[in-house]
Structure 1
Amino acid sequence: MVAIVLLGTCDTKLIELLFLRDAIKESDSGIDVFLLDVGRHPVHHDAITMTQSNLLEEHGENRKLDDLSRGEVVKLMAECAAKAVQDLFERGSIHGIISAGGSGGTSLASTVMRNALPIGFPKMIVSTVASGDTGPIVEETDITLMYSVVDVAGLNQLLRNVLSNAGAAIAGMAKSYASRKPVSTTSSKKRVGITMFGVTTPAVDAIRKHLESNYDIETYIFHATGHGGKAMERLTQEGGLDAVLDLTTTEICDHLTGGVMSAGPTRLEAAAKAGIPNIVSVGATDMTNFGPKNTVPEKYHNRKLYEHNPMVTLMRTSKEEAADVGTFIAKQLRKYYKDPSMVEVWLPMGGISMIATPDGPFADAEADTALSEAIRSGLSNTGIKIVDDDRAINDESFAHDIAEALVRKMDLKSPQ
């Protein structure tokens, strides 16, 4: 039996949730729907599988909501629902999850989906805020968003159409997930995560082709836009990668200088903690990312800026900032590594990005030296190998050699 969790605030959205439940079942009568009520006020209805009271009793220590603020209620109900949904998932009882609501319901539902379910499990939210800034909703996960167009507040023909589409979509996703679950763990290919940016694309393309052409490997390329780095860290934590070639660590620059593509302070932790083969390089650490040029903070107006395109302005990392980036890399690896033999750091001194080669607009030998010296100093006496290389990061031979270094750590032999 395929089953889907329908998550919602039944005290404010019961009519709409029941319509969505019926839309799912009309798509396939063999699908079971678990309706979980995460509203502030208790609702009694035969269609509710787990009431608000049930959630608080089983997962919230019978806490009362009367004296809590709206934000505190959302936080508590999200915690309770996450525990309930995780329990259902771990028992193999569910194959998809969907919700519908406004900003509060979306915040609650997305928290549950991010915290309780792994990447690859079908997740969908019909939301009034799905056409705005969706980064805080999705973060590093694969939540699917559908804009409700009108508010989820009373049924009309437009909302019925949207909810019907959503019901059919989650039903199809859940059935597909249920049918492929037994197959998902049978692949013999090793899974390698690689980080990429536009200015390191030639290297990543060469690495990917070399690994997949010569070894039983499939690569997972993560665009280092902040959420990409977070996604790789999360997938590694979930056991979804066997090795990491962290070629492009540019998100650290944004974290330290206030750019728009930060992956946060936990970057570089997961692979080191997991003890899996992990090669780290300094791709695109010559830059911090901002939006259009007029969005660059005033304190940076006198810096070397480069318009990558009308929507992205790059700022060259200074000598001092480069040293801070190197210190961050060394500190993270030093703090979290399990086995120094599983970690290497490669320093391509001929250019750390497409525009940081000697004749490029971001060429800065002093900054690059400060970066590498901070890494060497921070990793002294750790046993972690540092490879100094005169080539540029996008040199095809460099890409080949760093790929082979990872293969050696993975102890793989070419099937050819």
Structure 2
Amino acid sequence: MKTVYVVGTCDTKGSELRYLRKLILDAGCEVVLVDVSVSEFRSEASEVDVEPSEVARFHPNPPKDEEFKDRGKAVAAMSEALVEFIRSRRDVDGIIGAGGTGGTALIAPAMRALPIGTPKVLVSTVASGNVAPYVGPTDISMMYSVTDVSGLNRISRVVLANAAQSIAGMVLNKIAATADERPAVGLTMFGVTTPCVQAVTRALEARFDCLVFHATGTGGQSFEKLADSGLLVGGIDVTTTEVCDYLVGGVFPCTSDRFGAFARTGLSYVASCGALDMVNFGAMETVPSQFRSRRLHVHNPQVTLMRTTPEECNRIGEWIGERLNLCAGPVRFLIPELGVSAIDAPGQPFHDPEADAALFAALERTLRRTDKRQLARVPLHINDPQFAELLVENFKEALREH
């Protein structure tokens, strides 16, 4: 039998969680109901399979009882404990939770701790808004509760039933992993670096399973999560553009841990300056007022690009160089001197030799070169076929070295 973990705060969501448990049992799965309540109105032991006290014991540094009087601290502590509890279990075939803002924040980290591919469904009152902080770089399916998760009614019964059938269907009909013995390599891509990444993929796909990630902030995090998880043999990080949004204030930022997975793992790593000429915003009317006088380009009705200045490029190059200096494994960074994106070329809207020169100089100045950590400038555009060939050659060399 496949086992689904139903997780939530039974002090306030008990009827909804027990309703989910019944429907999932009826669908043919075993169920473990985990109560993560933090108030004094906790469930009777007979109502749940795992009590809050059992989950709390997994906290690496259990808070004192008086700290649980502060609900915010209590939720944060229980969330940390739940992550370790879920990691300790070996029978989690799927997980489902339901809650409001507090419950969603409590449950989501434990879902993110599970491997990609493990079914995860979270019914939430915040699921119609920005769910990036909850989903992160994982495959959580979020379902908007429509009404508050506060008792059973004609709406909540239908929504919760759909969620229960969804998790049961995912668990009972999980597709077996394909027998692909090719090692996996991660690549990062944007529309303006697509020709380069496609050429690299074509050159490698006979020997490698090429996983391409869209460099939209969470895309880069997913790329590095797989590296941290030991699922990649290396990375070809063509499109490091998320650093621009992180440092300047765009909508697709990386985190302060960008490049961290490769520093921690020592995996073979090849990178370039893909789309470091741009910061991303939404539709034109969403561009912050302080940037309205800058060089802007409408990529599509929902995406407006802003050209990075020489000063910003200097910061970006230094930040990347400092992060890559932490990598002990084989690193190859290739600088395409004739342009870093499809719109950074003579006659294109973001062609700016001065800004590119500042970027390249900062990278050269900051990156400490060793036998393993190398940087090279090449007289090519990033989308030139020869540049893709150089990326492939350097990746193979890095793999041999690793």
TM class, shorter-length: over 0.9
Q: Which moved more, 1:299-308 or 1:188-197?
A: 299-308
Contact 1:56/1:62, CA 8 A, preserved across alignment: no
Which residue is 1:225 aligned to?
216
Q: Out of 196, 199, 202, which is 1:203 matched to?
A: 196
Question: For residues 336 and 63 of structure 2, what CA distance do their matches in structure 1 show?
Answer: 57
Q: Which moved more, 1:151-160 or 1:318-327?
A: 151-160
Matched ranges for 1:254-265 at <5 A = 254-265=245-256
Runs of 4+ in 1 over 4 A off after TM superposition: none
Question: For residues 369 and 237 of structure 2, what CA distance do their matches in structure 1 show?
Answer: 22
Question: For residues 369 and 319 of structure 1, what CA distance do their matches in structure 2 show?
Answer: 8
Which residue is 2:328 aligned to?
338
Alignment of 1:348 with 2:336, yes or no, is yes
Tell me how many residue pairs correspond in the alignment: 397
Which residue is 2:15 aligned to?
15
Contact 2:58/2:82, CA 8 A, preserved across alignment: no
Q: Secondary structure at the match of 1:248?
A: coil
Deviations 1:22-45 (A, max 9, x none): 1111111xx221111111232105
By how many angstroms is 1:58 displaced? 5.1
By how many angstroms is 1:66 displaced? 7.1
Cα distance change, pair 327–66 in 1 and its aligned pair in 2 (3 A): closer
Alignment of 1:395 with 2:381, yes or no, is no
Q: Out of 79, 82, 104, which is 1:106 matched to?
A: 104
Contact 1:95/1:175, CA 8 A, preserved across alignment: no
Q: Out of 163, 166, 182, which is 2:163 matched to?
A: 166
Which residue is 1:153 aligned to?
150
Gap runs ≥5 in structure 2: none
Question: For residues 229 and 68 of structure 1, what CA distance do their matches in structure 2 show?
Answer: 38
By how many angstroms is 1:209 displaced? 1.8
Which residue is 1:4 aligned to?
4
Which residue is 1:78 aligned to?
79
Question: For residues 138 and 321 of structure 2, what CA distance do their matches in structure 1 show?
Answer: 27
Q: Secondary structure at the match of 2:152?
A: coil
What one-letter code is carried by the residue in structure 2 that aligns with 1:400? Answer: E
Which residue is 1:377 aligned to?
365
Alignment of 1:275 with 2:276, yes or no, is no
By how many angstroms is 1:57 displaced? 4.2
What one-letter code is carried by the residue in structure 2 that aligns with 1:5? Answer: Y
What one-letter code is carried by the residue in structure 1 that aligns with 2:327? Answer: Y
The RMSD of aligned alpha carbons is 1.9
Contact 1:23/1:163, CA 8 A, preserved across alignment: no
By how many angstroms is 1:361 displaced? 0.6
Contact 1:188/1:216, CA 8 A, preserved across alignment: no
Question: For residues 226 and 276 of structure 1, what CA distance do their matches in structure 2 show?
Answer: 21
What one-letter code is carried by the residue in structure 2 that aligns with 1:133? Answer: N
Which residue is 2:302 aligned to?
311
Contact 2:57/2:81, CA 8 A, preserved across alignment: no
Q: Which moved more, 1:61-70 or 1:293-302?
A: 61-70
Which residue is 1:123 aligned to?
120
Contact 2:68/2:74, CA 8 A, preserved across alignment: no
Question: For residues 380 and 2 of structure 1, what CA distance do their matches in structure 2 show?
Answer: 51
By how many angstroms is 1:379 displaced? 1.9
Q: Out of 129, 139, 143, which is 1:142 matched to?
A: 139
Question: For residues 67 and 195 of structure 2, what CA distance do their matches in structure 1 show?
Answer: 58
Deviations 1:333-379 (A, max 9, x none): 11x2113xx11001111110000012211001111111111111112
What one-letter code is carried by the residue in structure 2 that aligns with 1:344? Answer: R
Question: For residues 248 and 131 of structure 1, what CA distance do their matches in structure 2 show?
Answer: 30
Question: For residues 31 and 192 of structure 2, what CA distance do their matches in structure 1 show?
Answer: 46
Deviations 1:385-409 (A, max 9, x none): 2221111111123223312321232
Q: TM-score, normalised by structure 1?
A: 0.91
What one-letter code is carried by the residue in structure 2 that aligns with 1:196? Answer: M
Question: For residues 166 and 142 of structure 2, what CA distance do their matches in structure 1 show?
Answer: 11
Gap runs ≥5 in structure 1: none
Contact 2:121/2:143, CA 8 A, preserved across alignment: yes
By how many angstroms is 1:67 displaced? 5.1
By how many angstroms is 1:381 displaced? 4.1
Which residue is 1:50 aligned to?
50
Contact 2:193/2:342, CA 8 A, preserved across alignment: yes
Which residue is 2:130 aligned to?
133
By how many angstroms is 1:294 displaced? 2.4
Contact 2:99/2:123, CA 8 A, preserved across alignment: yes
Which residue is 1:35 aligned to?
33
Cα distance change, pair 301–56 in 1 and its aligned pair in 2 (3 A): same
Question: For residues 253 and 284 of structure 1, what CA distance do their matches in structure 2 show?
Answer: 9
Which residue is 1:289 aligned to?
280
Contact 2:58/2:84, CA 8 A, preserved across alignment: no
Question: For residues 71 and 150 of structure 2, what CA distance do their matches in structure 1 show?
Answer: 19
By how many angstroms is 1:55 displaced? 2.3
